[in-house]
Amino acid sequence: MLRRDKFRRSSLGSRVTADEAGTLLELIKISNAVGKDSSLVQGGGGNTSVKTDDGKYMYIKASGTALKDMNTKRGWRRMRLEPVLSIIKDKSLAKMEVHTRETEVVNRLLLACDDDVNYVARPSVEAHLHAFLDKCVIHLHPSAAGAFANAKNGKIELEKLFTKIGNWKLEIGNYLPLLWVPYTNPGFTLAKKIAKLVDDYQKRFGKKPAILFLEKHGLLISADSADTALHLVHRVINLCDSKLSHPKIGDERRETRDEINKAKRCISRAFFEATGQKCTISYFYDSAIAGFLRQKNVEKLLWGVITPDELVYANGPAMWMDKCEPKKIIKRLTLQIKSGEKHSVAFLVKDVGLFVAGKKKIATTVRDIAVYSIFIRTNAARMGGILTLNKMQRDFINKWESEAFRMKIAGGTT
């Protein structure tokens, strides 16, 4: 076990108390626990935070780094809580042009950092969102929660699901109603909306919400301790998961190595012709991909972008192909580029599997996002249809400097 006094001297400097060292250890504990589960976190997505008992500081995940990789030396920042809270209260920010404002917010969050970190590590761009919640906050993109968050009837189905169990008794105390957060552009606008909703919730129920579902985005868990937060994450996910359909595991058709290599050459050629980029093509196949490929309405299910992370890390959903034909791929990629959209980097080929264009490190992240996406789409379609990001929402994310930075860090390019 890591001794707090030794930890304090080696990682944070003499200014930090043993209690603060314990706060960071709590952050590392919850981050590593959820970050190792790809059904909860994909790529550099998700973020966590823990506030000190005196309310002066908040330890939070650094932007673009993986939760599973956080340790005592890397992957976090210590922030003064008061200047973080003041961002949402500053009325002048709301009057700024959106991208000027978001840059200003990022700068203020960085200025609120108070630690000895000496490498490129911005605090999570959602730090001001965390500031208004309870001591321990876990923000994830679990596939089980995403199925509801990205369904047209998701809110109704969630309310039915949670109402059926009535006054949900947990070891941590009595359950209070979940809070549904309608989709809002990430950053300042989302933090401001959540601050208002949390304030209203607290006035009504006498405490802050523990469970927040963010439409087209993910799940927020807020609790007074690390153990409580982790416990609640798993209870919520298990409850959601109990009502969802999972791919059947059985005999799966596997293409021959020649057929896989043929598809790789086809996609590589088309990708280069359309984008001018030479890149590695990786192949993936598992029970989730196999189950999705067997569905009759695959192309329809893959229409539209469902979450900010799908757009940031995977350029949107995988491109569906009945057959791997270079001319068709070139045409579709070219149309995407001309329309100002991000071009596909993932390709689902009927009866073959998933192919991803890009560096090996990014390819596995795109794979995780694609598998996450097809699970959500399959289940959301059964709950009134799939909610997707509209063009204005996609444009905001594409132009959001914070997301570009997060992608560069995740890809190892900065």
Domains of the chain: 4-241 (3.40.225.10), 257-381+384-411 (3.40.225.10)
pLDDT at res. 64: 73
| Contact indicator for 89, 145 with CB cutoff of 8 Å | no
Give residues with Cβ within 8 angstroms of 182, minimum separation 6: 193, 215
Query: Token digits for 23?
Result: 């706060």
What backbone torsions phi and psi does residue 395 show, to the nearest 5 degrees?
-60, -40
pLDDT at res. 134: 95
pLDDT at res. 249: 58
204-216 pLDDT, tens per residue?
A: 988 899 999 999 9
pLDDT at res. 21: 83
- Checking if the pLDDT of 184 tops 70, the result is yes
32-46 pLDDT, tens per residue?
A: 999 988 778 876 678
**Of the spans 61-65, 149-153, 249-253, 256-260, which averages the highest pLDDT?**
149-153
| Contact indicator for 151, 380 with CB cutoff of 8 Å | yes
Give residues with Cβ within 8 angstroms of 398, minimum separation 6: 311, 342
Mean pLDDT of 215-237: 94
pLDDT at res. 42: 73
Residue percentage of the chain with pLDDT more than 70? 86
- Strands annotated E in 18-141: 47-51, 57-61, 76-80, 136-140
pLDDT at res. 254: 62
Partnered with residue 62 across adjacent β-strands are 123
- Checking if the pLDDT of 372 tops 50, the result is yes
pLDDT at res. 15: 55
pLDDT at res. 258: 87
